[in-house]
Amino acid sequence: MALMEESTTQGLLQAHDEFWHLSLSYIKSIALTAALGLGIPDAIHHHGGGATLPEILAKTELHPCKLRALRRLMRVLTVTGTFSVVQQPPAGDDDSTVADASDEAVYRLTATSRFLVSDEVSSATLAPYMRLVLLPIIFSPVGEHICAWFRQEHHEPSVFALEFGQQAATVWEEGADANAILNEGLAAQSRFLVPDMLRECGEAVFRGIDSLVDVGGGHGGAATAIAAAFPHVKCSVLDLPHVVAGAPSDSNVQLVAGDMFQSIPPATAVFLKNVLHDWGDDECVKILKSCMQAISPRDAGGKVIVMDVVLGLGHDDKSNIKRLETQVMFDLFVMMGNNGVERDEQEWKKIFIDAGFKDYKIIPIAGTHSVIEVYP
């Protein structure tokens, strides 16, 4: 506590980002393993040193359904410096290290990845050395399965399921120990992040709301913090029966067992933190349609409040390359676990519109997450 008091909020958030970034650093090695295993440096090299995503997909003989996953893999590899990417035609933007979602973008080898071309003349290739360095990953099930996952012509099973026989979410749900680790871990993160979010934009977001359901709210960490800051808001949590059954009994918010795909209890607004990133676009649209049924009309304060990553956003320092690295590495992390997705603004917009919402507003907050208000 003394340590907390000594540090500024900004300093604590930076420390949070720093350890999240550090703990995801193994994703860089996994991404490199996938690049080598799929032959991406060779594919770009044999395409004249520059190739678009569809060209890399064709050269590496991956199924077209893997285009989006390949884009996400390439995003990690460009943000972290293995490849560079430029828009075609050039957009006049000098920041060529940040991957663009467009399939017109051309990926090139950098000085670093030129060493990864396997048939580079004479002794210039470092690919065999890189394989040696990546050996622990290559011989781990992840190294084997990420390439197998890219080569299969469908998304299911996920990389995690190829390795363990079931989705990460199922392991979290069905294993009592794993479930406790998940719920306690997420509650700890909510205890840290939610009060900060409330200080930054709580008044604007929660003022005028009478009731709120935290959908997929776990053990109620976020809802408890919201109820403490805004006592007039009647807060409840909807989660799966086994999660609700394991929640601490001292919670001052109402816990409801249910299924967000079936029905969400009516409330002025729905809060969704770190939920939609676990699901593909079709499932997100279903969840958001359920939310639409539950919330009040817009003129009565009705909205969905999403707290999640918006790739590329974070208000305090947009050039924070570590934050962007963390966001895109976490994107690959959720892809490998459950076929989940961390979305950029356009990807968020698409699922909101597809679910029938009219409008949205993104509020970047300090750190890696953003708040998005979505209006019916």
Helix or strand (DSSP H, E) at 93: none
Give CA–CA dist 262/108, Å, rounded: 46
Residue with nearest beta carbon to ligand SAH: 216
| CB 106 within 8 Å of CB 51 | yes
Positions in the binding site for ligand SAH (CB under 6 A): 186, 190, 216-218, 221, 238-240, 243, 259-261, 273-275, 278
Cβ closest to ligand SAH, residue 125 vs residue 338: 338
Give min distance, CB of 190 to ligand SAH, in A.
Answer: 5
The neighbouring-strand residues paired with 360 are 374
Cβ closest to ligand SAH, residue 143 vs residue 314: 314
* Rg (alpha carbons) of the chain, rounded to whole number: 22
Helix or strand (DSSP H, E) at 69: helix 67-79
Give min distance, CB of 216 to ligand SAH, in A.
Answer: 3
| CB 216 within 8 Å of CB 275 | yes
Q: Which is nearest to 148 in space by CA: 63, 232, 84, 274? A: 63
Cβ closest to ligand SAH, residue 90 vs residue 241: 241
Give min distance, CB of 314 to ligand SAH, in A.
Answer: 17
Active site residue 277: yes
In the structure encoding, which two tokens stand for residue 127, read together? Answer: 């690919």
Of 16, 277, 315, 369, catalytic: 277
Give min distance, CB of 192 to ligand SAH, in A.
Answer: 11
The neighbouring-strand residues paired with 215 are 238
Cβ closest to ligand SAH, residue 209 vs residue 309: 309
In degrees and rounded to multiples of 5, residue 213 shows phi and psi of -110, 125
Which residues are the active-site residues? 277
